[in-house]
Every structure is written in C-alpha cells, then in structure tokens.
Amino acid sequence: MAKKYYLSFHLTTNEILIEVVAFCSTNSFLVYKQKSSYQNLEALTNILLSFKTLCKSKLRFEKKKNELITSLIIDESFNDQLTFKLQQAEIFVKSNLVEFFQKSELDALMAKQDLDLKIFSKLNQQNIYFQTTTNLGEQKIYQHFPQGKIASTVKQLALSTYVNKDHKLAYFIDLFEEYGFNLNYIFANNQTLLFNHNSNEVTKKILIKLEANSLIFSLVINNAVLDTKIITFSIADIISKVQQATNLDVQICELLLKSTLENYDTLVTLDKTSLSKNQKLCLQIIEHLISKTNDVIKKFMLKNKIGWNHIYIAGHNQKLLAVALGKWAKHFEVIKGFESEVSLQTQGIMHYLEHFKIEDNSQNNTISNFPLPRKTFFNKLKTIFSFKK
C-alpha cells in the first residue's frame, strides 16, 4: 500500500535533527529520528551521507509508489545570514471577475522584484495577504488568492527570504540537493511552530520562545515572520549571581538553579516561610530576570500593536514562561501538538500541508478582522525588519 512520508531536516548552526514520519489515511507514526552535532561543512556532509545510505539500505521510503515530502526548517540562529524583502504587486481585472490565470500575472510581477538571483538564492515567499478593490471602491482582504471574486484590481503583499550564495547556509542547502534530497519546502522555525495553531485569520501574532540560553519573539502575520528579536543570556552569568548571593559551590549552585527553574510554577505558590534561604535568594534572581523579560515583551507588543488574544508561547522552558506571563497577560496560548515523539516543528508541517494549505484553492475566507492598511503601511513594515541575534 502506498504511503506518504514526511522527511524534515531541522537545521541550527551546530545541530541537525532528521525526522521521518509515515502518514497513511488518518494515522501517522515515527519511522526515524536522529539529532546530530556538526562543526563544519565536512561534518554535515558525513551526516547526510550516512542518512542517505540508511535510506537505501533500511528505511526504503523512497520507493516510486510512495509520496515523499521533504522540508528544511531553518533555525533563528541563521537569521544573520538571511536577507528579507517586502514585495507588492497589483493587477487590473478587466472582466471584474478574478480568474485563476491572473495569479500567474501577479507571480510574474513579484518575480521582477526579486533580488539578483546570480548573487542570492530565494528560499521562500510568504504571502501576507491579497487585497481586492471593486469599481465602487469597496476593499476586502483575503488570506489566499481571491479567485472568483468581484474586483477591478487585486494587490498582493508578500515577504521573500533570500540567502547570499557565498554564505555558509547556502552551501549547507546545496548539500541536501547534492545528496538527492529534493527540498519541497523551506520554512522558518517559528512558522512551523505556528502551523500547529490552525487559523483562518490574518492578524498580527507574537510567538515567544524561551530556550536554554535565549529569549526569542517574533511578529507574524498569516505565517509570514515579519520581525524577530533574539535576546541571548548566559546561564554561567546567572549561576555566578546565584553563587554571589548564596556563597555556595558552583556545582551546588547549578543544581539549585536547575531545581528552582524546573519547579518554579510550584515554588511561587508556596508560603515563603516554607522555602530555604537559598531557595528564596535563587527565586529573587529569577523573578528579577522575568521582570526584565516581561518589560521587553510588553514593549515589543506595544510597538507592533499586538492584541492580547494573539500571544503564543513555545520552547523548552515554556512552562516557566507560561507562569511568568500569567502574572500580567490577559490571554495567551501554549503551542501544542499531539502526544508523540515527533517534534512540534514536523507536526506543524504535517498539519499545515494536510489541512491548511489545501485552502489555497478555497476562496471563501474574507479577512474581516484585519484592518485595511493606510498608505504608509508598507513604509512602516520596511522599518521593522531588524533581524538581530
């Protein structure tokens, strides 16, 4: 029986996670999962070569009768190697009825705005919205191409992602093609996480992730990541502060900090008299860091006018983040998938391609809750593309 396989490569600057998931009817199961570290191009080459050999000898999911969908997930750690460009195009509809072939007209206009493809490789194009205008001046915004709608003009706004062909990431991507892994899709890491939250709304969202040594939050519209801010911090510095406050050995401070972080949601509910002196001191340090973190998040939300109902959180320390946000945020959602060993990123891709992307062919989703942009909207968007590590 033919099966559909999802192969995903999740690439960071020093690790690669490879996952293979089989999908048959409504059931899916993990076939293969392996995380490996690499330091250079040669090491990554060896990892891909070993996996290719494994595919041919044991996994054998590349049979002709099977469907294979391959995706590359690019981590935020590569942001400094990426170039982003906002693109817009507009066509006139002579018949006042939008037809499918006119999508190719928009595509051609968008392609003319691409960066020099002799210098850059285009990784993807993320649609933000389509806007129609009738002869009477009525405007509507759609999530997908508005085929079959009444309009005199159709405007498209999209964000394209490029990598300079001389950058390390470009060489990494070429490796996948070299070893026969045809990349059907290239996604940003944050995109794949939000794919788990199925929504027909085109509205501003903020995705906040708390990882082992960084806080990452992104502005997203219709799965297009418009702005990402990364704040790095050093666990060693935090341990040093705990050591200064408690006068304990470094190893004991590490254990104390780890225990406090893992049990933070419980500790903050206890009577302070039931805590040890060192636990109180460690909690004070964590509370101070959380306060500073909350201030940064609030400023980011205020700057981008993000509503309370559009906060999403993820990451290895999402439980800690949820407790911290719960002190002031009116509403937020934790990005969750189904109970599985499959990563949230791969789950998101599967969910998007199986359920959400098919709506590209459905033109019934008018965006009623997303305000039409003012004339300065495009200029404002250009000013927020500050991708910093």
Residue ranges of E strands in the chain: 4-11, 15-24, 27-37, 67-74, 82-92, 120-133, 139-142, 153-164, 185-188, 204-210, 214-221, 224-232, 311-314, 333-334, 366-367
Structure tokens at 351: 């969910």
Strand partners, 121: 163
Indicate the domain borders of the chain.
4-79+169-196, 82-163+359-371, 197-336
Q: Which CATH architecture has domain 197-336?
A: 2-Layer Sandwich (3.30)
Between CA 150 and CA 147 the distance in angstroms is 9
* Predicted confidence (pLDDT) per residue in 98-109, tens digit: 999 999 999 999
Mean pLDDT of 276-303: 87
- Does residue 385 carry a pLDDT above 50? no
Question: pLDDT band at residue 200, thresholds of 50, 70 and 90?
Answer: low
Stretch 269-295: mean pLDDT: 88
Using DSSP, state whether 216 is helix, strand or coil.
Answer: strand
Q: What is the pLDDT of residues 149-161, one digit of tens each?
A: 999 999 999 999 9
- 279, two tokens: 């636990």
CATH numeric code, 4-79+169-196: 3.30.420.40
Shared fold status for 4-79+169-196 and 197-336: yes
Q: Tell me the pLDDT tens digit for each residue of 321-380.
A: 787 777 777 778 888 777 678 999 999 999 888 876 544 444 334 443 333 333 333 333
More confident residue, 244 or 364: 244
